Structure 1
Amino acid sequence: MGTTLLLAFNFPPLGGGIARWMGELALRYPPHSLLVSTGRHAGSEASDRRFPQAIDHVGIRATRLRTLNGLALWTARAGALARRSGAAFAWCAELKPAGYPARWLSARHAVPYGVIVHGTELLLLQAKMHRSRFKRWTARQLLGGAAVVVANSRWTAALARTVLDALGRPTLARDVRVVPLGTTPSHFRPGIDPRSVRAKYGLDGGPWLLTVSRLDTHKGIDTAIRALPAVRAAFPTVRYAVAGVGSHRPEFERLVATLGLGDAVRFLGFVADDELPALYNAADLYVGASRRYDLLAEGFGIALVEASACGLAVVAGDSGGVPDAVRDGETGLLVDPDDPAAVTAGITRLLGDPTLRRRLGDAGRRA
């Protein structure tokens, strides 16, 4: 049986949920049965050593894989890898840009491919298909040309079926598979000493609420910040840590200043994957109030699963694919992510009931 290729724009050490999921995928394949094709990041050499798979880097920075020149180089490199390894199948970590070299492999070398879909890209694709015949044709080639489509949640799967039906691919639509994101329970676990990350990021005092996320509008970070004054009225020492980077940080910082929250909110910036387990262990409650915002949505939310694996109870937005990651009343609480009062109620309920918080955290660890 030939090697399986994984074509991934998003792959460690790049941050974000998709990259972490692709890392988990690479760890779970039998050793040396998967060949990863990706770009190069600072820290790639050190990151690659933890995987039992061969990782081949296109000879350009990963950020350039989305350019025409980058796609041409990646496609040529993927073709050479397929010939050399005798690849029998290729996975696309994301529809774009990985779908382009995958479609070429299928047409030129008869290598079937599967596309992993995450949610938001399908919302964007739907909008573009209605506006442009070319975009519709491209979608039919990339997504409709796949041998299988795998979704990260039931919500994403339903969206994928709608798109595929619109593209005239009803058989592929009926066969969309759902594979929820997982994590490594020996890596993300309770009982990890948090003192090093507390010292590094200044996480003294507390209780601490935590969000690990790209700083984007649909992640609900602004809703959690708006909820914080009422939370602190009930629990005055509560503070909120946000780990991640993104262009909306200045907007969130202005909101913190407007609400007079001062150092009650701490933006940690980029946190390396190997520090995340300790960071989750430094927190008392995880907040992931993701919501639908225009054409952005949360298809699943791997940080929710990571937090649960570390024994944290979760307050999460009842939106998109999040209900597949958080079982309401069992591993956490689902709340209206558009309503700061609802987020406040979820947080204060769990902070005020340590027994319930511990029960939900324990159940999340077992889930």
Structure 2
Amino acid sequence: MSKKTLVISEIFPPRHGGSGRWFYELYRRLPRDIYTIIAGSANRDKEFDDANINALRIQRLDLYSPSWGIRSITGLRFYWRTFRALSKIIREQRIEALHCGRCLPEGFIGWLLHLRHGIPYLCFVHGEDIQTAMESRELSFLIHRVFRSSAVLICNSENTASILTREWSVNRGQLRVLHPGMDGERFVPAPPDGDFQRSQGWQDRRVALTVGRLQKRKGHDMLIKALALLTPTHPDLLYAIIGDGDERRALEKLVQEYGLEEHVQFLGEVDDNQLVAYYQQCTLFALPNRADGNDIEGFGMVLAEAQACGRPVLAGDSGGTRETLLDGVTGVVCDCTAPEPLAAALQNLLGDPQCLLSMGQKARAHVLDKLDWQAHTLRASELFAEAGT
């Protein structure tokens, strides 16, 4: 019998983020009376929650803190405030298990609640969260507490599982790999749409699309530099960027430096319905990710979504993105730490339209077989039951 469970995740729609979308798609397919989502506050969250009231039980808390450590007053106040609020919910709703969206802060909160209430918890691990924490002895100390008492650790990729065993000395028997899924009924191929392409300035252009926060590890800068190598002989190339973040100003400056204003679009955030159309109408999808110090791409859900829309994909050879595609069959994996190999990979792909078409067709078949939400939800349910959570 399933246990009444709190799912704690600061990142959750309508806030953008791959992990939040993963949890939304997964838990809305599980029994509503079993799972209560404790989600972080976000702009227009009430509108979102009202629209999903029949699928999800969502309660909002302020789960943001500028400090996740416990050596600062800010961090201590955050954990104490959140611990008290969740303890009240646990008592009122007779909660029997916890699912924590990340190691920090959610996993540490889960550990505290486990100590106080004696209920089991599991923790999702995404790769980039544990890598960045390695730079801090304090945060590493907290994460080791989380790992030690978690019923299981659910890793989003084999690469993340390898990091845990190799660099954190976690027993492999405590780990389970669950790749994020995608909705094959929503992300579907579509024929060329002239009206959409004209509205975006995409007509008669070959468009490379990237979706994600503007962070160094995503590699937008390298693709812009690669574009500078290609546009003299490929003047129709256009790079469309969906997302926002700390790197936007630096990327805009880079575009100006290379004189690529006619070849790069910054589209900002778009809603989910618009996003599908962008996937469908681009020529290929690129996530030219690389490691930025200890910051890596754990999996890359956007690569799965693009493939579901019948788009060939290009990914960097860092982190877990390789696990989303079949290299040479549904897309390519390449070195994205410099513009030259990235430019060469793009030129090879764009120079063979028949190969692009074949890759796109095989891409959809691949993700439907491996990453569709139906199979993903069944696997997740089995893992939760096995872990006693």
Give yes or no for TM over 0.5: yes
Percent of aligned pairs with the same amino acid: 29
C-alpha deviation, 1:196, in angstroms? 7.6
Q: Is the 8 A contact 1:192 1:277 kept in 2?
A: no
C-alpha deviation, 1:144, in angstroms? 2.1
Residues 89-98 or 341-350, more deviating = 341-350
Q: Is the 8 A contact 1:92 1:113 kept in 2?
A: yes
Letter in 2 for 1:97: P
Q: Is the 8 A contact 1:38 1:62 kept in 2?
A: no
Aligned counterparts, 1:130-149, within 5 A: 132=137, 134-149=138-153
Q: Which residue of 1 aligns with 2:52?
A: 50
Q: Which residue of 1 aligns with 2:114?
A: 106
Unaligned runs of 5+ in 1: none
Q: CA RMSD in A?
A: 2.3
Q: Which residue of 2 aligns with 1:83?
A: 91
Q: Secondary structure at the match of 1:311?
A: coil
Q: Residues 256 and 277 from structure 1, CA distance in 2 versus in 1: closer, same or farther, beyond 3 angstroms?
A: same
Letter in 2 for 1:56: Q
Q: Is the 8 A contact 2:108 2:143 kept in 1?
A: no
Q: Secondary structure at the match of 1:267?
A: strand
C-alpha deviation, 1:306, in angstroms? 1.0
Q: Secondary structure at the match of 2:270?
A: coil
Name segments (4+ residues, structure 1) moved above 6 Å.
none
Q: Residues 121 and 257 from structure 1, CA distance in 2 versus in 1: closer, same or farther, beyond 3 angstroms?
A: same
Aligned counterparts, 1:1-367, within 5 A: 1-48=2-49, 49-50=51-52, 52-58=55-61, 60=62, 62=64, 68=75, 69-128=77-136, 132=137, 134-165=138-169, 170=171, 173-191=172-190, 198=197, 201-367=200-366
Q: Residues 136 and 61 from structure 1, CA distance in 2 versus in 1: closer, same or farther, beyond 3 angstroms?
A: closer
C-alpha deviation, 1:149, in angstroms? 0.5
Q: Residues 202 and 236 from structure 1, CA distance in 2 versus in 1: closer, same or farther, beyond 3 angstroms?
A: closer
Q: Residues 358 and 340 from structure 1, CA distance in 2 versus in 1: closer, same or farther, beyond 3 angstroms?
A: same
Letter in 1 for 2:141: W
Residues 308-317 or 23-32, more deviating = 23-32
**Distance of 1:78 and 1:194 partners within structure 2:** 48
Q: Secondary structure at the match of 1:266?
A: strand
Provide TM-score, normalisation by structure 2. Answer: 0.85
Structure of greater relative contact order (alpha carbons < 8 Å, 6+ residues apart): 2
Write out per-residue CA displacement over residues 48-78 of structure 1, whole angstroms, 9 at most, x where no aligned residue: 22361200112x4756796544433322222
Q: Residues 145 and 278 from structure 1, CA distance in 2 versus in 1: closer, same or farther, beyond 3 angstroms?
A: same
Q: How many residue pairs end up in the alignment?
A: 357
Unaligned runs of 5+ in 2: 69-73, 367-389
Q: Is the 8 A contact 2:99 2:121 kept in 1?
A: yes
Q: Secondary structure at the match of 1:186?
A: coil
Q: Secondary structure at the match of 1:263?
A: coil
**Distance of 1:193 and 1:61 partners within structure 2:** 42
Q: Secondary structure at the match of 2:267?
A: strand
Provide TM-score, normalisation by structure 1. Answer: 0.90
Q: Is the 8 A contact 1:15 1:273 kept in 2?
A: no
